[in-house]
Amino acid sequence: MSFEPRIVGFLCNWCSYTGADLAGTARIKYAPNIRSIRVMCSGRVDPVFVIKAFSEGADGVLIAGCHPGDCHYQEGNYKALRRYLLLKRILPEYGIEPERLKLEWIAASEGERFAHVVNGFTEQVRRLGPMNCKGALIESMKDDVLIHEEHAAQGTGERR
């Protein structure tokens, strides 16, 4: 059986998620490998979410937001871009190819583009193969995520 990558997609509510919705209502077929998580803005995507997704076994992570200048929250997508560039440098530390992370701008009207991006990225991750990051590195990644979560939960009854 060929390798089917598992991809986590963080989609912003206003553009990319709506674009994905449009792809659905327009009956456009795209790779079923992506599992979408809706966030209000791509700026909500905490780099820890990406690390967490990889540590939980994702083979690729897609962050999608509004086109520059089109952000519903004015500039949340620019904040996402900053964090994305940072993540690109951090991921190799865990033994993860930076090509497993992708940031794309997809507008609400771009259902076709959403399908195109998902298909392209799925192919890209498929070529990279399953995650090489194993054993100790995965453990350290999980530890880092846990430390962050515990730190955030400190002093409160729940995690934020």
Partner 1 sequence: MMDAGGKSEGLIRLEIDGRTVSVPSESTILDAAKILGIEIPTLCYSPLIEPYAACRICSVEVEFPGGKKRIVTACNYPVWEGIKVYSDNGKVRRIRRMIVEMLLARCSSVAVLQDLAAKYGIEEVRLEKQDEKCILCGLCVRVCAEIVGKAAISFAGRGLHRRVATPYDRQTEDCIACGACALVCPTGVIRVEDMEGRAVAHEELQLGPAKAVTVPFLQAVPNVPYIRADRCIHFQTGGCGHCAEVCDREAIDYEMKDEEIEVDVGNIIIATGFELFDPSVMRQYGYGRYKNVLTSLEFEHLNSASGPTGGRIMLANGDAPSVVGIVHCIGSRDKRYYEHCSKVCCMYALKYAHLIKEKTAAEVYNFYIDMRCSGKGYEEFYDRLLAEDVRFVRGKVGEISSVPIGEGEEGKLIVRVEDTLVGMVRRIPVDMVILCPAMKAQPDAKELSRVFSCSVGRDGFFIEKHPKLAPVSTTSDGVFIAGACQGPKDIPETVAQGAAAAAEVLSLIDRKEIEIEATTAVIDEERCSGCRICNTLCSFGAISFDEQKEVSVINAALCKGCGTCVAACPQGVIKARHFTDRQINSEIEGILR
Q: Which residues bind partner 1 (CB under 8 A)?
A: 6, 8, 14-15, 35, 37, 39-41, 43-49, 52-53, 56-58, 69-76, 79, 83, 107-110, 148-149, 151-156, 158-160
The answer to whether the beta carbons of residues 84 and 73 sit under 8 Å apart is: no
Task: Identify the CA nearest to 116 among candidates 6, 22, 12.
Answer: 22
- Smallest distance from the beta carbon of 85 to partner 1, in angstroms? 15
C-alpha 138/C-alpha 56 separation (Å) is 9
- Return the structure tokens found at 73: 């929250």
- Smallest distance from the beta carbon of 1 to partner 1, in angstroms? 19
- Return the structure tokens found at 40: 């209000």
How many residues in total does the chain contain?
Answer: 160
Cβ neighbours of residue 5 closer than 8 Å, sequence gap 6 or more: 33, 59, 60, 122, 125, 126, 128, 130
* For partner 1, the closer CB: 44 or 116: 44
* For partner 1, the closer CB: 73 or 94: 73
Residue type at 103? L
* For partner 1, the closer CB: 85 or 153: 153
3-state secondary structure of 29: coil
- Smallest distance from the beta carbon of 60 to partner 1, in angstroms? 12
- Smallest distance from the beta carbon of 46 to partner 1, in angstroms? 4
- Smallest distance from the beta carbon of 33 to partner 1, in angstroms? 11
